[in-house]
Structure 1
C-alpha cells in the first residue's frame, strides 16, 4: 500500500496492518513462537541488516515494535519534545538503541510482549483519533519530527513496522531452522 496521505487513510490502514501482523503470528506453530530464530549463513550473506541476527525470537520482534511505539507515544504526549530518539542516540546510532531494547527485555515473556504491543497499538490508535489533519500532515509542526510530519512517524512506527515484522515472521515460518 502507498503511504497514507490523509488521516482517514491512516486510520483505515493501521488496523489492517496490525491484523496482518497478528495473522502472521497465528500462522506460527507453538514451537516457532518460542524457539530461537536462526537464519542460514547463505541467507545472512544476502541480508546484512542487523535485525536478521539481532532478533533471536518472536518476543524480540514484538518488543522491538513496542519500544519504537513508546518513542512515538512519548513525542505525541509531549508535543514540545525536541527530538524523537532519546539521548544519547541519534539516527546514526539507533542500532545500539535497538540492541538495548533486546537486552532490556530478556526477562519479558512472549505473552507479556504481546500484551505490551497490544496496549501500545491501542494507545497509538487513540492518539491518532485525537489529532487533526493539520497536526498529522503539516511538515515541521513538531520539533521532534524535524522537517517531516507526524503522520510519517505514525506510518513508520506502525504500518511499515508491522509489515517489516510480518515479512520476517513469514520468512521464518516458511524456512524454520534454516541455519541448522
Structure 2
C-alpha cells in the first residue's frame, strides 16, 4: 500500500507545471519573436528572415482602433547594412512620428545576409515620451516591412500580423513559489 501511495505521489508531482513559466513567443512566415519579463524589464528578441537594404520592420503595441494610436519599435536597415532602432507613435493611419530619442535599449544586433536578429529591452511600466505601459494586456502587431527613402519610413508592404491581447507581465522567468500540501492518512 505504501508503495502504491508513493507511486501516486510521484505521478502527481510530475504533472505539476515547472516553477518557471516559459517565454512567450510567436512565429510566422517572415518573423519570429519571443519575450519575457524579469525585474520589471520587458526583453524582446525579434528575428526577421528577409530584411533587405533600405527597408524597415516594426513591432507595434496598442488597441487602436486599427493602426491608429500605436506605440512602435522600428528596426531599419540602411544601404550600408547598418541597423537602426527607433521608437515612435502612429497618431493616425499611414503616419509614424519617430521619437527624438529611442526609449528601448538595444542589447544585441546581428545581421547575417538578410536575416536580422535583435534583442531590445524596455520597462514593463510607463516609458517614453507618452508614458506608454505594457503592464496591461494589449494587442501586439508585427509589421513585416516597408521601404526607407530619404530617412523616412514609407508605407508597409505585405500582411501585418495581429497578436491579440498579449499580457507581457505573465511571461516571466522569475521564480515562483508553489506550496503543496498532500496529506495521506
Scaled to the shorter chain, the TM-score interval is: under 0.3
Q: Which has the higher contact order (CA 8 A, sep 6+)?
A: 1
Under a length normalisation based on structure 2, what TM-score does the superposition of the two structures give? 0.26
Structure having the higher helix fraction is 1
The structure with the largest strand share of the pair is: 2
**TM-score relative to the length of structure 1:** 0.26
Q: Which has the larger radius of gyration?
A: 2
